[in-house]
Structure 1
Amino acid sequence: MLKMPELLNHFDVHQHIWCVDKERDYWLFNCGFLINNDSISGYAEPSNEEAFILHVNGQHIVFILAHHGMEATDLYPIHFSYELVSMSPSSLPNMSRESLLNILKDAI
């Protein structure tokens, strides 16, 4: 049974987007956009960076991804584009960085 961290059990958290793969025993949680306190307006505003928590092999990996908007194509009505900003930790004892990035891609 996959167990969510205590802080992720709050009612408000379950309204956000997250994905569970019970067969491979991992989950991905989209924490939402990071806040930019140095915006042009002088007020705190959402940035183009989103935080994700990936739970694999009993450990959490925090990904920060830059969101580059959505665009419509003939094949897909909406296309999401992300760029990896940071990843912590960058690997696990039994899993390489590339493997973790592949899991992240599959979950997104």
Structure 2
Amino acid sequence: MSLNDVTVRAAFILGLAILALVASGWRKTARAQTKLGRARRPVAAGLRHEPPRRLPIPVTETPGDAYHAPGPIKRLWAVAASSALTVVIGAVVATLIAFSLAFVVMVLTDLLKQ
């Protein structure tokens, strides 16, 4: 197996790893976005800008549901998902290490040929 074949296979695995990372991160972000209604509006000619009035919001306290452990299907799904992510991250790290080692070997062999 030549170095070219190894490089092509490593690039293919890296492409699959990146595809898996993009697919696993394809969801709604947890951080809330700012609402445009709360942003400062430009002042019109001759009008004074007043910020919106903040009115108190009534809060009611209600008891929540008691904790219940997740079912066996949810636990199996968590184990499978974490295992898959571990394999994907391991493939990415292995690919990066393989590329860096191949680069070091090529540089050192070029130095030895001189």
Fold-level similarity (TM above 0.5): no
Q: Which has the larger share of helix?
A: 2
Question: Could you state the TM-score of these two structures normalised by the residue count of structure 2?
Answer: 0.18
Quick one: higher RCO (CA 8 Å, sep 6+), 1 or 2? 2
Structure that is richer in strand per residue: 1
